[in-house]
C-alpha cells in the first residue's frame, strides 16, 4: 500500500528541539541566578559580621582599662547572627556539594570570622572575668564521620534553645592555616566529632544531655527561664 502517512517537516523537529533547548537552558540559567543571589546574601551576612567584630575589637581597644560593662560583645544577637549564617552555609553545602569553590570560599571566610569572634570573646573573658559559653566543634563531611550529622543536629538544637551559647563549627578538612593552628593549639586528634568546651577536648558523639552536664550553666539558664515564664504567666492570669 502507498505510504499516505503524514509527512512531518524537519522544521517541526528542529523547532521543538530549539524550544526544548531554550527551556532547558533557561532552567539552568535561572537556577544559577538564584544560586548567585544566595552566595551574595551569605557574603553580605559575612560582611556584616566582619564589621560587627571589627567594631567590637575597636571598642575593646579604645576602652581597654575602663568598665567591662560598656563592651558590647557578649550579647545573644551576635551569636544568633552566626547561627543564621551557619544554617545558610550548611544548606548551600548540601545543595552545591562539598567541592564547590564558592562554598569553600564562603566557609573559609566564615571560619576566620568564627576564630576572630572566639579571640575577642577570650580577650573579654580575660579582662573582665566573664566565663562565656562556647563550644568549638570539629566535623568532617567526607563521609568518614558518621556521627557528625547527629552531633550537628544536637548543636543546632542547643543553639536554638540557648542563644547565649556560642557554637564555633569548623570543617576539620578545610584547607585553612588558621584552622590548622586552632587544631594544634587545642591538640585535636582526627577522631571526629570533636568538641572543645572550656579547654577540654571531648571525642565522639555527645548528646544534648551530655553537653548540659559538661556546661551546667545551660541547665541553670533553662531553670531561670522557666521560673521567669511561670511568674509571667502567674501575673498575667492574675490580671
Partner 1 sequence: MIEVFFDSILYVFLFLTLYLEVFFLITFFEERLKLAVKSTTDKLSYYPSVTIIVPCWNEEKTVSKTVHSILKLKYPKNRLEIFVVDDGSTDNTWKAVQEFANNPQVKLFKKENGGKHTAVNLGIENSTSELIGCLDADSFVEKDALREIATAFNEDTKMMAGIPTIIIHEPKTILQKMQKTEYHNIAFFKRMLSPLDAIHVTPGPFSFFRREVFEKIGLFKKAHNTEDMELALRMQSNHMRIRNVHTARVYTTAPESLHKLYRQRLRWAYGGMKNTLDYRFMLFRREYGILGMITLPLSLFAVVIFLYNFSFVAFHAIKAIAEKATEIGTVGFLFAIPTTNLFFFNTEFMAILSYIFLGLGLVIMWNGVKLAEGRFRPSMGILYFIALYGIVAPIWFTRAVVNVIFSRATSWR
CB-based contact 159:165 (threshold 8 Å)? yes
Rounded Cα distance between 60 and 58, Å, is 5
Among positions 27, 119, 130, 185, the unique one binding partner 1 when judged by CB under 8 A: 27
Q: What track of x and - describes contact with partner 1 for positions 190 through 209 (by CB under 8 A)?
A: -----------------xx-
3-state SS string for the chain: CCCCCCCCCHHHHHHHHHHHHHHHHHHHHHHHHHHHHHHHHHHHHHHHHHHHHHHHHHHHHHHCCCCHHHCCCCCHHHHHHHHHHHHHHHHHHHHHCCCCHHHHHHHHHHHHHHHHHHHHHHHHHHHHCCCCCEEEEEECCCCCCCCHHHHHHHHHHHHHHCCCCEEEEEECCCCCHHHHHHHHHHCCCCCCCEEEECCEEEECCCCHHHHHHHCHHHHHHHHHHHHHHHHHHHHHHHC
Among positions 54, 76, 91, 119, the unique one binding partner 1 when judged by CB under 8 A: 91
Nearer to partner 1, 28 or 185 (CB): 28
Nearer to partner 1, 121 or 221 (CB): 221
# of chain residues touching partner 1 (CB under 8 A): 37
Nearer to partner 1, 150 or 186 (CB): 150
Nearer to partner 1, 135 or 176 (CB): 135
Q: Is 157 among the residues that bind partner 1 (CB under 8 A)?
A: yes
Q: Is 24 among the residues that bind partner 1 (CB under 8 A)?
A: yes
Q: Is 126 among the residues that bind partner 1 (CB under 8 A)?
A: no
Q: Is 17 among the residues that bind partner 1 (CB under 8 A)?
A: yes
Q: Is 167 among the residues that bind partner 1 (CB under 8 A)?
A: no
Nearer to partner 1, 1 or 234 (CB): 1
Nearer to partner 1, 165 or 179 (CB): 165
Please report, as ranges, the residues that interact with partner 1 according to CB under 8 A: 1-8, 12-13, 15-17, 19-20, 23-24, 27-28, 30-31, 34-35, 38, 41, 88, 91, 95, 149-150, 153-154, 156-157, 160, 207-208
Amino acid at each position: 500500500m502507498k505510504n499516505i502517512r503524514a509527512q512531518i517537516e524537519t522544521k517541526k523537529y528542529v523547532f521543538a528541539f530549539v524550544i526544548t533547548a531554550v527551556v532547558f537552558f533557561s532552567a539552568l540559567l535561572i537556577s544559577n541566578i538564584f544560586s548567585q543571589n544566595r552566595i551574595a546574601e551569605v557574603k553580605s551576612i559575612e560582611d556584616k559580621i566582619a564589621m560587627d567584630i571589627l567594631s567590637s575589637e575597636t571598642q575593646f581597644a579604645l576602652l581597654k582599662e575602663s568598665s567591662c560593662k560598656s563592651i558590647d560583645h557578649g550579647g545573644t544577637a551576635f551569636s544568633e547572627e552566626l547561627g543564621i549564617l551557619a544554617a545558610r552555609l550548611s544548606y548551600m553545602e548540601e545543595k552545591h556539594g562539598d567541592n564547590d569553590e564558592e562554598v569553600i570560599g564562603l566557609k573559609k571566610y566564615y571560619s576566620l570570622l568564627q576564630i576572630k569572634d572566639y579571640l575577642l570573646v577570650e580577650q573579654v573573658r580575660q579582662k573582665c572575668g566573664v566565663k562565656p559559653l562556647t563550644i568549638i566543634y570539629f566535623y568532617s563531611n567526607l563521609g568518614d564521620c558518621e556521627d557528625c550529622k547527629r552531633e550537628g543536629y544536637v548543636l543546632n538544637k542547643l543553639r536554638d534553645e540557648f542563644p547565649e551559647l556560642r557554637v564555633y563549627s569548623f570543617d576539620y578538612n578545610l584547607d585553612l592555616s588558621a584552622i590548622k593552628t586552632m587544631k594544634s593549639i587545642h591538640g585535636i586528634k582526627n577522631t571526629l566529632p570533636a568538641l572543645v568546651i572550656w579547654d577540654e577536648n571531648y571525642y565522639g558523639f555527645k548528646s544534648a544531655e551530655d553537653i548540659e552536664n559538661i556546661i551546667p550553666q545551660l541547665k541553670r539558664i533553662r531553670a531561670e527561664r522557666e521560673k521567669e515564664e511561670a511568674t509571667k504567666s502567674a501575673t498575667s492570669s492574675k490580671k
